[in-house]
Amino acid sequence: MADVSAAASAIATPRGINRRAIGLAAFYFGLAAILVLVLGRDIEPGSETIFGLNLGSAPKIKLPDLVVPSTTMVYLMAAVCAFCGALQLTRAIGARWALLISIALIAFIFGFLTWAAAGKSMSLVGVFQTTVYRAVPITFGALSGVLCERSGVVNIAIEGMLLSGAFVAAVVASATGNNWLGVIGAVIAGALLAAVLAVLSIRYRVNQIIAGTVINIFAVGLTSFLSTRVLQQNQDLNTPPRFEPIVVPVLSDIPIVGPVFFSGNFFTYAVFALIIVIHFALFYTRYGLRVRSVGEHPRAADTVGINVVFTRYRNVIFGGMVAGLGGAYFTVGSTGNFEREMTAGRGFIGLAAMIFGGWTPIGAFLAGLVFGFADALQSRLSILGSPVPSEFLLMVPYITTIVVVAGLIGRVRMPAADGTPYVKE
């Protein structure tokens, strides 16, 4: 009887095809259907899309604009998505599903941009540059989460740390006229909130989700109150000097790459430096080995002489400092003034990027670029006058967050002791 059941199962599910493959293939075919049946049919015949490959009025190395026939390009990208679906069903490239989904998503996005800018011009380099800028605060939040959770402490309070860092940076920089002092103040503010989280989570073993939520509520309430009662009455405390762009000679002249990565301000280069430093520290030093051991098996780490409590305190405070630095970006690195709840959920998006990136600094940055692109896309489409409702465009970064967390949270491995208080016996 068992042999008959196995044979029937083999007939119903051909070799090499499983539910996951079918689900992914259906996703790819769905993307192709959207491009063909929704977007492609909405383009006027003969329309062309112009993608600008230069930034600025007089670049040293000027590339010709990319001009494509709108309808043809949308259908071509649909064919790429459908081909990815066929490959997924036949398992022609083995288990490298990440490669397929990357190709399909890039094809869909390019097709979508072609449709959105049909008959118009869009600066592709400008979109890439905005993507990196929007990804900077998200990456700071994600790096903060990596530092905390690799040691076993869940940091839901990143949002509050970002917001507090933004407020303190604005006030200190405005009062002193020195944006560097504003950055230092933001780092200290993030460290103080992180110390509170560490005491609640490690010393008193309060539920880490609840502790982080309380800190977020406290930060939102306090900064909103002070913004209303202090900053609105004293505008001179809310006009901080901003960091100007730092253009790297020679490198900034490289077409496409130069304007995107080598013409940012202090925070852009700081986040790149932190990614390298944190990655090296976590995976190539004794410090990182101890942190990861505490996050995976604190009792075993304790038995070999590692101070679990100290390691967790230290990493949570480091994470708070990184989040505070990221908060300073909003005021002294971007807008130039503090507004109530101006972080707009970037701390929570940073947590999603951390999960998407597999609790690694490089992965968190790449995930931050995904969310940054979603954020940049909604602002660019608003400028182009896209027929997509503006309310939906504002939802894009948060929809992306939900999709990523819902789709990947069960497929990535978190540190085994993450969120678990340690009790020394």
Alpha helices in 177-261 (DSSP H): 179-198, 208-226, 257-261
Per-residue model confidence (pLDDT) at position 404: 63
Residue extent(s) of CATH 1.10.3470 domains in the chain: 126-408
Q: d(Cα 7, Cα 410) in Å, to the nearest integer?
A: 31
Tokens of 191: 């460290």
Q: In percent, how much of the chain has pLDDT > 90? A: 63
Tell me the DSSP string of 10-65.
HHHS-TT--HHHHHHHHHHHHHHHIIIIIIGGGSPTT-EEEEE---SSS-SSPPPP
Q: d(Cα 314, Cα 320) in Å, to the nearest integer?
A: 10
Per-residue model confidence (pLDDT) at position 54: 87
In the block, residue with structure tokens 């405005």: 174
- Asked if residues 150 and 296 have their Cβ atoms less than 8 Å apart, the reply is no
Single-letter code of the amino acid located at 323: A
Phi, psi of 338 (to 5 degrees): -95, 135
Q: What is the DSSP letter of 304?
A: T
Q: d(Cα 211, Cα 373) in Å, to the nearest integer?
A: 31
Q: d(Cα 391, Cα 381) in Å, to the nearest integer?
A: 12
- Asked if residues 270 and 384 have their Cβ atoms less than 8 Å apart, the reply is no
Per-residue model confidence (pLDDT) at position 16: 43
Residues facing residue 48 across a β-bridge: 69
Q: How many CB atoms lie within 10 A of CB 256?
A: 16
Classify domain 126-408 at the CATH topology level.
ABC transporter involved in vitamin B12 uptake, BtuC (1.10.3470)
Residue 1 has pLDDT above 80, yes or no: no
Q: d(Cα 128, Cα 261) in Å, to the nearest integer?
A: 9
Q: Assign residue 18 a region (left: φ > 0; alpha: ψ between -120 and 50; beta: otherwise).
A: beta
Sorted by sequence, the CB contacts under 8 Å of residue 136 that are 6+ apart come out as 264, 267, 268, 271, 326, 329, 333, 368, 372
pLDDT in tens, 13-30: 444 456 777 877 888 999
pLDDT band with cut points at 50, 70 and 90 for residue 213: very high
pLDDT in tens, 50-67: 999 888 767 788 889 999
pLDDT in tens, 297-334: 999 999 999 999 999 999 999 999 999 999 999 999 99
pLDDT in tens, 75-134: 999 999 999 999 888 865 555 666 788 888 899 989 999 998 898 889 899 899 999 999
Burial readout 195-232 (b: 16 or more C-beta within 10 A, e: otherwise): ebbbebbbeeebebeebbebbbeebbeebeebbeeebe
